[in-house]
Amino acid sequence: MTALGIALASGMVLTGILTGTLGRFGVIDVPNHRSSHVQPVPRGGGAAILLSVALALTLTSAWTETLAYGAAGALVLGCVGLIDDLRSIPARTRLLLQVAVASACSGAVVLLGEVGGPLVAIGAAILAVVWLTGFVNVYNFMDGANGVAGLTALIAGVWYLSLGPAGGSTALTVGGAALAGASAGFLPWNFPRARVFMGDVGSYSVGFLLGYLALIAFLDTRSFVHALAPVSVLLIDTSVTLARRIARGEPAMTAHRDHAYQRLSPDIGGSPRAGLLISGATIACLAAVMLPVLACLLVWGLVLGGYMCAPRVFARVWPG
């Protein structure tokens, strides 16, 4: 648990340093009609999470070959996100870079996981590339309200930390601990009132780390339920929202305010309701994993369906 403590302390300190530094250098998120905030806020504080994870693993000598590949991929995408924060990168270029990083890391983790013969390994690597590339964008889409991305990373880190010892996975144990600690250190600066945003540098790198841990969890447990439980809310919100936009003939990738979490805070005043509801729904999905598979999926359907219906309910019973 030392990695968790180091990541927590460094996350709080580094986020504080970055908050002041980013503001002085003018790396500011200016609100617009799609924003969930009303005042300019520094962005890019999520870099502290990546740095804290690396620092915790280094100081505890907890690096494994699997974690090294994941951290390298997160670092590269963090740099891509930093450039995107400073000056926008064309969507096609950004996607190609994400696919390239995901391809390099997926091949490595699939080989290390010894998933089967050559054909099986190739197929698994391709699916892993699709998963990592897709999830980085899912996490980026969902990073638009105070606490949503940070709370999800904290809960997921604790979950993967708990899975590690049962499967004898050092990567899951220390990787989950470091991610949980770093995210917890970042949160006081971002939730419930945001003094800094994660930014693309944070959402790309942390999203990659989170997706990478989910991939390791699946390879270790061979269970989609265990691997996807802590990110199920993010996946359902993004999937349903994009499907609705496509069905209406609207551009799927154009920026919008159609996500359930965005509609939970129509006042764009930084309401904590989205972060709290997503966290509650995620914890409910994690608890359901203890049930038999069919019962678990039934509970997931009820919880995730309830989450997607929440904006209409909250608009009536918790206005403003």
41 strand-pairing partners: 29
pLDDT of residue 194: 87
| Cα 308 to Cα 235: distance, rounded to the nearest angstrom | 11
Q: Is the pLDDT of residue 46 over 70?
A: yes
pLDDT of residue 268: 42
The pTM (predicted TM-score) of the whole model is 0.92
pLDDT of residue 78: 95
User: Which is higher by pLDDT, 103 or 24?
Assistant: 103
pLDDT of residue 41: 87
Q: What is the 3-state secondary structure (H, E, C) of 200-248?
A: HHHHHHHHHHHHHHHHHHHHHHCCHHHHHHHHHHHHHHHHHHHHHHHHC
Residue pair 298/241 in contact (Cβ under 8 Å)? The answer is no
Residue pair 65/112 in contact (Cβ under 8 Å)? The answer is yes
State the helix-helix crossing angle for 148-167 and 170-186, rounded to 10 degrees.
Answer: 160
Mean pLDDT score of the chain: 88
| Cα 312 to Cα 27: distance, rounded to the nearest angstrom | 35
Q: What is the CA radius of gyration of the chain?
A: 19
- At residue 316 the predicted structure's pLDDT band, cuts being 50, 70 and 90, is low
Amino acid at 307: Y
User: Which is higher by pLDDT, 107 or 179?
Assistant: 179
- At residue 252 the predicted structure's pLDDT band, cuts being 50, 70 and 90, is low
Nearest CA among 96, 77, 73 for reference residue 215 = 73
**pLDDT tens digits for 73-125?**
999 999 999 999 888 899 899 999 999 999 998 877 776 665 667 777 788 88
Domain spans of the chain? 2-228
pLDDT of residue 168: 83
Buried b (16+ CB within 10 A) or exposed e, 206-215: bbbbbbbbbb
pLDDT of residue 33: 54
- At residue 277 the predicted structure's pLDDT band, cuts being 50, 70 and 90, is very high
3-state secondary structure of 90: coil
Q: What is the mean pLDDT of residues 52-59?
A: 96
pLDDT of residue 269: 44
**pLDDT tens digits for 191-228?**
988 899 999 999 999 999 999 999 999 988 989 999 99
Residue pair 177/161 in contact (Cβ under 8 Å)? The answer is yes
- At residue 270 the predicted structure's pLDDT band, cuts being 50, 70 and 90, is low
Residue for token digits 């990373």?
Answer: 153
* Kind and range of the H or E run holding 42: strand 41-42
Helix, strand, coil share of the chain (percent; to 5): 75, 0, 25
